[in-house]
Structure 1
Amino acid sequence: MKFSFNHNNINVLDLEKSIAFYKEALGLVETRRKEAEDGSFVLVFLGDETTPHRLELTWLRDWERPYNLGDNEFHLAFTTDDYERAYSLHKEMGCICYENNKMGLYFINDPDGYWIEILPEKR
């Protein structure tokens, strides 16, 4: 028996704001969308156009408060082929929330407070 990654899910308060953030910050594009017939939820799958892995954004119509991320000890991680350019973009966007220069990485946070690790392609 063999398993492979398919997607990760996060819930978001403002779907369009999150889609725009992931497009600008990480170049992710919408690959699929599923909307409930009654309008109670929308699922949007984002991809990097390179790997089959997807990020699923879930928007719930009746959810009105920020999500409880606990201690925010989980995160997504992305590598980039141009670390310096990525850093400049994220600095300009004001979304860098933690830097570890000794390890050669940093984190950005999305509109809902989820942390995303940014790594150079070659470490």
Structure 2
Amino acid sequence: MRLLHTMLRVADLDRSIEFYTEVLGMTLLRRKEFPEGRFTLAFVGYQPESAGTVIELTHNWDKGAYDLGDAFGHIAIQVADVYEACELIRQKGGVVTREAGPMKGTDSILAFVKDPDGYSIELLA
């Protein structure tokens, strides 16, 4: 068994694909429209789906926005340098919501950014 993907509902699929590919450096692995169901799926990731876990972006054509709720926490991404990653994300128009720095009580360096729909993404070295 292995974890395949995490699905996020997004309001603007093109904007989300741009964020995950251009700002976070993932690759668009596949995209497919389902006219009968009035939705489109796009899968993005750092590896092919056969090699690692990816993110499924789901755009329901008739839905404009979503409430994030308070049950979902965040997606975590490992980076080589959290400080540098924050600077690159900021340069590309991304929003850093918690600057890079140590997590209280540990030596771990982390930061948080938000995607265009407001989902939290943790960056860890």
**CA distance in structure 2 between the partners assigned to 1:4 and 1:94 by the alignment:** 30
Q: Which of the numbers 29, 32, 43 marks the counterpart of 1:31?
A: 29
Query: What's 2:80 paired with?
Result: 81
Q: Deviations over 1:28-70 (max 9, x none)?
A: 1111222113371000001103752110000001002x21111
**Equivalent residue pairs, number:** 117
Deviation >6 Å, runs of 4+: none
Query: What's 1:53 paired with?
Result: 53
For the aligned residue pairs, the C-alpha RMSD in angstroms reads 1.9
Q: Which stretch shows the higher mean deviation, 55-64 or 81-90? A: 81-90
Query: What's 1:90 paired with?
Result: 89
Q: Deviations over 1:64-103 (max 9, x none)?
A: 2x21111365110001123332121123324101236231
**CA distance in structure 1 between the partners assigned to 2:94 and 2:9 by the alignment:** 22
Q: Which of the numbers 96, 112, 115 marks the counterpart of 2:117?
A: 112
Could you tell me which runs of 5 or more consecutive residues in structure 1 were left unpaired when the two chains were aligned: none
Q: Which stretch shows the higher mean deviation, 16-25 or 29-38? A: 29-38
CA contact (8 A) 1:29 1:46 kept: yes
Q: Give the counterpart letter for 1:74 in structure 2.
A: G
**CA distance in structure 2 between the partners assigned to 1:54 and 1:102 by the alignment:** 27
Query: What's 2:106 paired with?
Result: none
TM-score scaled to structure 1, two decimals? 0.84
**CA distance in structure 1 between the partners assigned to 2:94 and 2:16 by the alignment:** 15
